[in-house]
């Protein structure tokens, strides 16, 4: 039986970027058990859709998530990304 999760890889990458603003793609890949190539593609998707901005500081990327943007699914457009991230990343 194939394992599945409720949160997509895009959502999981977004959560890690939010939690660790200077995380490397290789670290995300290791944490989520994805390939570095797929993580880089997901980050590119999130950037092109406007959910993430990248600020380059030398060789280090610093990510900024835009929590006020709506989720992508038409039936969920009234929910903001920040609301989802609050659930995925509760404060300890």
Model confidence pLDDT, tens digit, residues 57-66? 888 899 999 9
- Residue pLDDT, tens place only, 33-71: 999 999 999 999 999 999 999 999 888 899 999 999 999
In the prediction, which pLDDT does 84 show? Answer: 93
Q: Which long-range contacts (CB under 8 A, 24 or more apart) does 40-45 make?
A: 42/9, 42/10, 42/13, 43/13, 43/17, 45/10
Q: Share the mean pLDDT of the chain.
A: 93
Pick the CATH number of 9-88 from 3.40.50.720, 1.10.10.10, 3.90.660.10, 1.10.3720.10: 1.10.10.10
In the prediction, which pLDDT does 3 show? Answer: 81
């Amino acid at each position: 039986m194939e394992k599945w999760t409720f949160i997509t890889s895009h959502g999981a990458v977004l959560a890690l970027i939010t939690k660790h603003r200077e995380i490397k793609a290789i670290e995300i890949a290791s944490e989520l058990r994805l390939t570095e190539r797929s993580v880089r593609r997901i980050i590119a998707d999130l950037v092109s859709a406007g959910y993430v901005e990248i600020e380059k500081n030398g060789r280090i990327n610093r990510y900024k998530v835009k929590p006020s943007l709506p989720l992508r699914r038409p039936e969920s457009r009234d929910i903001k990304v920040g609301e989802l991230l609050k659930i995925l990343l509760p404060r300890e």
